[in-house]
Amino acid sequence: MFEDFTWEWNEESWGITHKSLLNLRSSILDGWQDEIDIVSVCSDKEREILGYAIINKTRETITYTGDGFRTDFKGEGGAGYKTAHAFLSILGIKRSRLEIFPVIEDETYIETDIFKQRLQNMLEDNLEDLSFFIPREIKTVEYLRDI
């Protein structure tokens, strides 16, 4: 399904929380009226670092936000992770239902093309777990409690 999709990929956002947040915001708002899904992409299991892949079925694009988020809530990446979830909650978007791990255990560096290929293969393998939605049509929002 994804072989003809265009990748929107900015390696300058890897490990940079601010740029990863901007990419997340922009790709969701750009696809506000499109069918999208959001997938958590773990890039480092040990330090619980992740980014998001926003799959836009309407435009046939996959945007990787960059991996500037930390699920352990530590440092700037942890604050970015909280901010990302607050943003998604305000928009009424439930947290990603699918998490994938394109990094092999003990792998400290991975070439971009290999990462993309693994990510694409994992998305293909998990098609049944994708749940596309149109953000504009979401009728509910979550209240922000503990930020």
Nearest to 100 by CA among 80, 78, 129, 79: 129
Q: Are 105 and 44 in contact (CB under 8 A)?
A: no
- pTM (two decimals): 0.85
Digit-coded pLDDT (tens) for 82-137: 999 899 988 888 766 677 777 666 665 667 788 888 888 888 888 888 889 999 99
Per-residue pLDDT, 106: 62
3-state DSSP call for residue 73?
Answer: coil
For residue 47, the model assigns a pLDDT of 64
Report the first-to-last Cα separation within the chain, whole angstroms: 37
Instruction: Please give the torsion angle defined by the CA atoms of residues 105, 52, 74 and 12, in that order, rounded to the nearest 10 degrees.
Output: 90
User: How far, in Å, CA of 77 to CA of 66, rounded?
Assistant: 11
Domain 6-130: assigned CATH number: 3.40.1530
Map out the domains of the chain as residue ranges. 6-130
Share above pLDDT 90 across residues of the chain, in percent, rounded to a whole number? 39
The tens digit of pLDDT for each residue in 56-88 reads: 999 999 999 988 999 899 999 999 999 998 999
